[in-house]
Amino acid sequence: MANEKVSSSIPVPAPTAWPFIAAFGITLTFTGLVTHPAVSMVGVIVLLRAAAGWWFDVLPEQKEEAALVRISERSWAEPKSSSAVDHLAAGVGSHRVRVPVQVHPYLTGLYGGLAGAVAMAVVAVFFGLIAQRSIWYPINLLAAGILPSLADAPIDQLRNFSEAGLIAGSLIHGTLSLFVGLLYAVSLPMFPRGASCSGLVTPVLWSGLVASTLSVINPTLNERIDWFWFVGSQIAFGLAAAWVIARTAKIETMQTWPLAERAGIEAARSDADQGRSQEKPRQ
């Protein structure tokens, strides 16, 4: 070409087919699990041979070949623009990536979980009083997941006070509430409408997850649960937890930092340095 000249050559890794052969060996290995063991044996042999061939392509010396580098003479003659480029911020305007630049501290998730636990317990107590005329009924149902004595107990026994049921139910309820509260603290900044949207959407999703696994986790609760009251208690938990978490101050994340600062290669700039850099006039 008239406008290009050969400046030099650089070494690049030589082409090899061993990665494709290794992938073929892995495919045969897993295919044999549903067909015949002999297919898996062939796949293992092919995979080992491909791994050895791939290894010797890199060690003790990497196989390379020379690649010609061409630099266009025309590129040197083109004038460079002095105009500045405006970069879009993540999650702002029409930028396609929505990454929260401010999040709630994880400690607020624990506070929100405790508040949600209280709100959920109030709804559960009302359910026990209205459905079975006992505040111990929902607690014993929850504890039946880990207590065999309550798992096969009749309804009359579930209505009565049980010390073991109170301890087990409180531990289960408190642990799950703290865990879900942490999930709320993490997910709340990702909802476009904040607390109101998260407080309603997340309980519905959580209720669907519980409904699909409750028959395995707690068969006794699954047989006697009232899903209307259960979803209502979940929504009470979500609204209370989201309200407490949303009222706390957020902390900035490293999403707005340059990659060198996030990787620890460069020190993070102070607010004064960032202010001075923003005051520089554009060229």
| pLDDT tens-place string over residues 120-167 | 889 888 888 888 888 888 888 888 877 777 877 788 888 888 888 888
Domain residue spans of the chain: 4-72, 102-251
96 vs 257, residue with greater confidence = 257
Beta bridge partners of 5: 71
pLDDT at 54 > cutoff 90: no
Residue 27: pLDDT band (50, 70, 90) is very high
What is the C-alpha separation between 95 and 36, in angstroms, rounded?
A: 51
DSSP string, 184-253: HHHHGGGSTTTHHHHHHHHHHHHHHHHHHHHHHH-HHHHHH--HHHHHHHHHHHHHHHHHHHHTSPPEE-
Q: At 143, is the secondary structure helix, strand, or coil?
A: helix
pLDDT for residue 282: 43
Between 100 and 123, name the one with better pLDDT. Answer: 123
Give me the pLDDT at residue 186, please: 77
Q: What is the reported pLDDT for 127?
A: 87
Q: Which residue has the tokens 């006794």?
A: 220
Which range among 23-27, 108-112, 224-228 has the greatest average pLDDT? 23-27
| Whole-number pLDDT of residue 6 | 47
Those residues with Cβ within 8 angstroms of residue 97's Cβ, 6 or more apart along the chain or in another chain: 90, 91
Across 78-100, average pLDDT: 62
Question: What pLDDT is recorded for position 281?
Answer: 44
pLDDT (tens digit, 9 = 90+) per residue, 239-256?
A: 888 888 878 777 777 766
Task: Please report the pLDDT score of residue 226 as a whole number.
Answer: 79
Q: Using pLDDT thresholds of 50, 70 and 90, give the confidence band for residue 47.
A: very high
Q: Of the given ranges (77-91, 104-118, 177-191), which has the lowest mean pLDDT?
A: 77-91
Residue 273 clears pLDDT 90, i.e. is over it: no
Does the pLDDT at position 280 exceed 50?
Answer: no
- Asked if residue 53 lies in contact with residue 14, where contact means CB atoms within 8 angstroms, the answer is no
Domain 4-72: CATH architecture, name and number where available: Orthogonal Bundle (1.10)
- pLDDT for 279 equals 46
Residue 145 backbone phi and psi in degrees, to 5: -70, -25
The percent of residues in the chain predicted with pLDDT above 70, rounded, is 72
Mean pLDDT of the chain: 76
Q: What is the mean pLDDT of residues 172-194?
A: 78
* Rounded mean pLDDT, 22-32: 91
